[in-house]
Chain A
Amino acid sequence: MAEPIRILTAVPICDGHDSAINTINLEFIRHGIEVVYLGYHRPARDIVRAAIQEDVRAIGISSYNGGHVEFFAEVIDLLKKRGAAHIGVFGGGGGTITKADAAIMQRKGVHRIFFAGSPLDELTSFVRKHYCKRGRVASTGFPRGSAGRLRTARCIGFTGPGGAGKTTLIDELVLRWLSSQPDARIAILSHDPSIPGQGALLGDRAAMIYSQDDRVFMRSLATRGRAGGLSPESARWLRAMKDGGFDVIFVETVGVGQEALPFRRGLVDKSIFVTGSSYGSRLQLQKIAMLDAANIVVVNKADLAGASTAAAEIEERLQANQRGQHLITTVAKSHRDAGVDRLFQEIRP
């Protein structure tokens, strides 16, 4: 089977109109396309960096707040400057982009502008036809100054049920790492599930605000039918990252079930199980395999009702294991959360 088409979609800076792009993303996925979604209010710099790191074939931009002529031009200029002119750019913006604007934008290198009322089929068939072949094999896109550095990256794996806050936690750790170590280089390998018979929405970047940085390399992988939380490509990417001169590599699995043990021996240096308090009864807790395997267990959303009970029950289990596992409670959504600070102290070199 041919490799799925990977594209990146985003809404420009100072623009929060994500209703159209949400619908379009779903339509792309339904047609087997893997969509790295960067979210709304994103500067051209972040879009181009992400497109190169994710090695997508095209960038789709949905712009409803004006300034599109300049914004699309900025994206195309930056792609050229970074040696990534092979990545195509297309977009739309309902009634806000006039035919005259579109003509200017297409002269500047935009492949296609879709106007209000374009049927969704037209968009998906355009992408499937136009971007079916990859332009060329891109470089890894690793950040400048990382390759050639003699660093043995520590690899830290994050897993846990969906909605526990793994992405937020990693982003907060990245913030701490970057601000305490100005020359740090960080890699993130994130996973999202493929929908059987369809594509995948790779949306972790959209919720990350501090990881959009030139010192951070991030790659989003779809599981493509592999069960257990990782992708068939994960091991290959981890090897490349380990030689990439990074200080730390964060691996985030998809949301996993009770029995999952996503990190086989030697894959990561440290594994962290992130959970909220809604795992059900104490009995359910006993079934979670990662509670035995993880080096650190994080109870996130510690501000919610039930969190202290959860922390006590898990602590009891870890004590019984007698393996020196640590429990840390966090409120990752809070700025400067002391729990996240403690976790950072645990994992930093």
Chain B
Amino acid sequence: MSILARISESVEAHAREVAQQVRRAREDAAFRTKLLKRWKAIRRDVGTVRTPTGLELPAIALPTTDDPGAIARFLFAEGLPGTFPFVNGTYRNLYSQSPSPGPPMEEPTRLFAGFGLAEDTNERFHFLTRHQRSIRLSTAFDGPTLYGLDSDSEGVFGKIGEGGVAIDTVEDMERLFHGFALGDERLSVSMTINGPAPIILAMYVAAARRRFGPRVVGKLRGTIQADILKEVQAQNEIIFPLEASLRFLSDMVAFTTTRMPRWYPISISGYHIAEAGATPVQQAAYTLSNGFTYVEHFRQRGLDVNQFGPRLSFFLDCGLDLEYVALARVCRKLWAIGMRDLFEADERAQLFRLHTQTSGRSLIADEFKNNLTRTAIELLMAYINGTNSCHSNSADEPFTTPSEEYVRLAAHAQSIILEESGLFRHMANLLGGSPGMQLVEQAVERAILDEFRVLDHLGGVLPAIEQRYQRAQIQAAAHRYEQQIADGTRPVIGLNRYVTPVDALAEPKVVRTPRHRKQHQVDRLRAFKRRHRAPAERALDALTRVVESNGNVFAELIKTVEHCSLGQITERLFAIVGRYRPSV
């Protein structure tokens, strides 16, 4: 039986357990007395809040019922916010704001940036963070970097610095973060890269050591995406065969959990699965099953679930479909049950820590200002779900790199929902436990478990991947979505309903990396390779020995990157472990 079948069993066992508690609450007088006493205490301890208009309310919304069965059901099936199985949230007070002294500062949002050469992105980082109390940098890489190629590789010249920053060497990494105190506890860095993630993170560690000395390593904070399963299923940015990719990832996770305890070494992502066309349920089912597959894999490599578990985080899409109102709520529950019952993880390792991004796919170019409304509704659903952090898309994204105006409006939408509106400011858990929410939760949960059963029937996540199952399902869903838009069963305002002819949009200004800058990147990469010719060969041979002797590849990569470029390293690793063979 694969882990997915066992998780389905655990969820069923949990449901039976809840049913039993409900029965006891109704039939067993002693148990009922104890429960009601506890319930009274919970209500008392919740405390009260006062709205600006003077209304007094409890700080956490709890069911108003006095029925012991209903109380037991709420406490055991959903849990208070911050309590197993975490349906109502990972923490007790997620969004409520305690006034902080001094003038209000904007809540730092991670602003995704990356273009041109390392210096260009560095300048942008400094500009974006100039007023922020804490610094959160989020890095996008260009195509060659995402595929582990050097800027001087054949046929990639046009792609240098497009859509992200070009990183070839540890020296580029130093330039990228020049002027930032990488060991500072108010700074965190996120890197969106998967296939060559271990090499890129090794460059980051090496660059930090060069500037701040070896002791900085343990203080580094940040996240690297490094989710190769979703790459195979949806995003296509995997470069080594799956088995080798998993091994390099495990080595990186082993290193960071012991030596870089503040680092999140993987962001298990449904976002790209959903953007590629998956339904909300498919997104949740594949993301969760990928997550459990990683946990099983890391454990087989001898890692301690209570050590790496708290360093796993998730990244989901939030679109306009109804399921999204409860999707993350169900995910938190299934993750917690699976981690507790199958992997004996402690409470910190049971938490489904979630970053949500609003749906890029739901945005359209026609009458694009409607996208502000779409994004606002998606944000609202993400917060109703209790996401731990959020990114809102800019309304102009369907046709251009986001402009400053729409980036600002997107960030302000979050502040309007959380700070200006009263929905989340005062009372936590506004809708948790309501009948509509419960019905959606139950339907979503059933559908996810059905998907688990299919995956289990196919032999588990990895065999299903080999049979192209997830890819085929995602592609079929994408096709259905397009057909629904075409035949009007999926209304899209301004596209297939209430279409108003509008003047063609002004051609957006697009930031492109000039030719001479691309050439500069190529030239300095070649100079780096010339300078390091002799030690590079030795470093690659040392790396080869570590790969072949089953040592920790990530620890070695931190040394390799001192002398070798990204492309030199991937080329050598291709020779040892082969290349990824695409499935289409």
Contact = CB atoms under 8 A, between A and B. Distances in A.
Interface residues on A, range: 35 or more
B163 A66 contact: yes
Nearest to B365: A116
A121 to B, nearest CB: 10
Given A13-B155, A100-B507, A163 B467 contact: yes
Interface string B217-259: 0000000000000010001110001011000000000000000
B400 A304 contact: no
A1 B8 CA distance: 55
Contact of B277 (A19, A74, A98, A171): A19
Contact of B143 (A66, A171, A206, A335): A66
A246 interface: no
B163 A65 contact: yes
Interface residues of B, number: 48
A197 interface: no
Contacts of A333: 241, 466, 581
Given A18-B236, A98-B508, A116-B365, A67 B581 contact: no
B459 A305 contact: yes
Contacts of B584: 18, 22, 37, 39-40, 203, 206-207
A43 interface: yes
B143 A14 contact: yes
A348 interface: no
Given A65-B163, A95-B398, A333-B581, A43 B236 contact: no
B578 interface: yes
Nearest to B145: A14
B366 A117 contact: yes
Contacts of B149: 14
A68 interface: yes
A336 interface: yes
Contacts of A41: 147, 236, 582
B216 to A, nearest CB: 32
B496 to A, nearest CB: 12
B265 interface: no
A95 B507 CA distance: 11
Given A40-B236, A66-B163, A98 B507 contact: yes
A336 B244 CA distance: 13
B487 interface: no
Nearest to A47: B155
A45 B482 CA distance: 33
B158 A19 contact: no
Contacts of B276: 19
Contacts of A206: 582, 584
Interface string A185-213: 00000000000000000010011010000
B156 interface: yes
Given A116-B398, A304-B463, A335-B241, A65 B155 contact: no
12 contacts: A13-B143, A13-B156, A17-B236, A23-B479, A39-B584, A45-B155, A67-B162, A95-B400, A98-B508, A98-B510, A206-B582, A209-B582
Interface of A: 13-19, 22-23, 26, 37, 39-41, 43-45, 65-71, 74, 95, 98-100, 116-117, 163, 168, 171, 203, 206-207, 209, 301, 304-305, 333-336
Interface of B: 142-144, 146-147, 149, 154-160, 162-163, 231, 235-237, 241, 243-244, 276-277, 365-366, 398-400, 459, 463, 466-467, 475, 478-479, 482, 507-508, 510, 512, 577-579, 581-584
Given A15-B143, A67-B160, A163-B467, 20 more contacts: A13-B143, A14-B144, A18-B236, A22-B475, A23-B482, A43-B155, A44-B155, A70-B157, A74-B158, A95-B398, A98-B508, A99-B507, A116-B365, A168-B581, A171-B581, A206-B584, A207-B581, A209-B582, A301-B466, A334-B243
